[in-house]
Amino acid sequence: MGAFIEAIDLHKTYRVGKIDVPALRGVSFSVQKGEFVTIVGPSGSGKSTLFYLLGGLTRADSGKVVMDGDDFATLSDAQRTRMRKRKIGFVFQKFNLLPTLDARSNIAIAQEISGNGDRDPTFFLRICDLLGLSKRLNHRPSELSGGEQQRVALARALVNKPAVVLADEPTGNLDTENSNIVLKMLRQSNHELGQTVLMITHNPEAAKFGDRVIHMRDGHVVRPEEDPQWTPH
C-alpha cells in the first residue's frame, strides 16, 4: 500500500531583513493512512513550517507534499483551498473560537465554511458525545474551561470527516490534566473515526500518544538520539 502523505525533500527559507534563514533543509518522510504520527523538536527546528506546508497553507521553495495522490505543488491556490476544506481538519494551540457563538455554533461553522451540503447530524452528535461536549453545546467559550474549549476546537476539526487531522501544539495552553484528556480524545478519534493524524509538539510525553515519532532539529529529520529532549541524561 502506498503512502497516504509524502513529504519529499522539502526546503523552505525565510528572508529576515537581509538574512536568509533556512527553516527546512531537505525534509522527507511518509505517513500511512490511519496512522497517528507525532513530530517533535525544539523551538526553531522547523516543525511549525512543516505544519504549514503539510496543510497547504504555504508553498515549499523546493520539494513537494503529496496527499492522497494530490501534489500540492501542482495545485492552484484555489485548488489548495478546496483541498483543505475537503480533506484536512486543523487544531491549533490557540483555540480560535468565536467568543459570541456557543460551542454548537463554533463547531457548526466549520460546516458553513466548507460548503459541504452533506451534513450528518448524527455524526455531529457522535463527535460531541465522543469529546464529552453534549451537555456544553449551549455555552459560549467564556463559560468553558481551557480543556473544554480545546475539545470544541477538536470537534470543529473532525465534524467534516476530514481524511487528515493536523494538530499544532494542541496542548500547549493546557495544564497536565486537560492535556491528557485532549490527547486521549485525539487518540480515540483516530481509532474510532479512522483519520490520519499528524501532531506537532515540543512535549515528549504528548508525543507518546502517537504510533510513531518523527524527530526534527535544525530543519532536518534526525534520529532520536540526536534529539536532546529524548537523549537520556
Q: How far is CA 113 from CA 71, 153, 159, 160, in A?
A: 23, 15, 12, 10
Residue-wise pLDDT for 162-190, tens only, equals: 899 999 998 888 888 888 888 988 888 88
Contact between 114 and 85 (Cβ < 8 Å):
yes
- Residue 175: how many other CB atoms lie within 10 Å: 11
Domain layout of the chain by residue ranges: 5-98+158-226
Nearest Cα to Cα of residue 105 among 142, 143, 152: 152
At 233 the pLDDT is 38
Confidence category of residue 24, pLDDT binned at 50, 70, 90: very high
Rounded Cα–Cα distance for residues 28 and 214 (Å): 10
At 171 the pLDDT is 87
For residue 230, is pLDDT > 70? no
Radius of gyration of the chain (CA): 18
Is the domain defined by 5-98+158-226 classed in CATH 1.10.1060.10? no
Which sign, positive or negative, has the C-alpha torsion 164, 168, 173, 175? positive
At 232 the pLDDT is 45
Rounded Cα–Cα distance for residues 113 and 21 (Å): 34
At 226 the pLDDT is 63
Residue-wise pLDDT for 45-91, tens only, equals: 999 999 999 999 989 999 999 999 989 889 888 888 888 888 899 99
DSSP per-residue codes, the chain: ---SEEEEEEEEEEEETTEEEEEEEEEEEEE-TT-EEEEE--TTSSHHHHHHHHTTSS--SEEEEEETTEEGGGS-HHHHHHHHHHHEEEE-SS----TTS-HHHHHHHHHHHHT-----HHHHHHHHHHTT-TTTTT--GGGS-HHHHHHHHHHHHHTT--SEEEEESTTTTS-HHHHHHHHHHHHHHHHHH--EEEEEES-HHHHTTSSEEEEEETTEEE-GGG-TTTS--
Residues in the chain: 233
At 225 the pLDDT is 64
Of 64-68, 128-132, 138-142, least confident by mean pLDDT is: 128-132
Q: Which whole number is the average pLDDT over 22-41?
A: 94
At 114 the pLDDT is 66
For residue 118, is pLDDT > 70? no
At 166 the pLDDT is 94
At 3 the pLDDT is 87
Q: Kindly report whether the global pTM for this prediction surpasses the value 0.75.
A: yes
Mean pLDDT of the chain: 88
For residue 133, is pLDDT > 50? yes
Confidence category of residue 227, pLDDT binned at 50, 70, 90: low
Residue 66's beta-bridge partner residues? 6, 71
Residue-wise pLDDT for 100-117, tens only, equals: 999 999 998 888 776 654
